[in-house]
Amino acid sequence: MTDSVIKAAVVLLADTDTPEGMGRMANALTTARELKEEGDEVKVIFDGAGTKWAAELADGHKYSELLDQVRDKVEGACAYCANAYQVTDQVEAAGIDLIDDFDGHPSLRGLIRDGYRILTF
């Protein structure tokens, strides 16, 4: 049996204000790292309250190294949500693109159309 390449979009929606949210962030980025290391196609997207992680991780957080390990797989952060959570400037300063494919949001439909499995954390 041959291994086939998995296409997955890891979407981080968790907020920064609870230990549970930090766990979800760590699990999301660890999953992305595993997929990357196995040679799969992976895209990381910060959406909803998860846009706050895009800003916080770039600012010397104890899990910043985890973001650095998958930075080349970060597709970006939701433009609408970054604005709603008032982190647009911090996300851009972190070098993370803002995505506004559909009404200011990333297009999950487009990812599904392109064969990506959507994993939400």
The closest alpha carbon to 81, from 19, 23, 21, 15, belongs to 15
pTM for the whole thing? Answer: 0.95
Number of domains in the chain: 1
Q: What is the pLDDT of residue 59?
A: 75
Is 96 part of a structural domain of the chain?
Answer: yes
Is 70 part of a structural domain of the chain?
Answer: yes
Domain that holds residue 103: 7-120
Is 1 part of a structural domain of the chain?
Answer: no
Q: What is the pLDDT of residue 1?
A: 42
Is 104 part of a structural domain of the chain?
Answer: yes
Q: Measure Cα distances from 24 to 28, 46, 100, 113 in Å.
A: 6, 12, 24, 26
3 state DSSP class of 19: helix
Average pLDDT per consecutive 10 residues, the chain (121 residues; last block may be shorter): 84 97 98 98 98 91 95 98 97 96 97 98 98
CATH number at residue 11: 3.40.1260.10
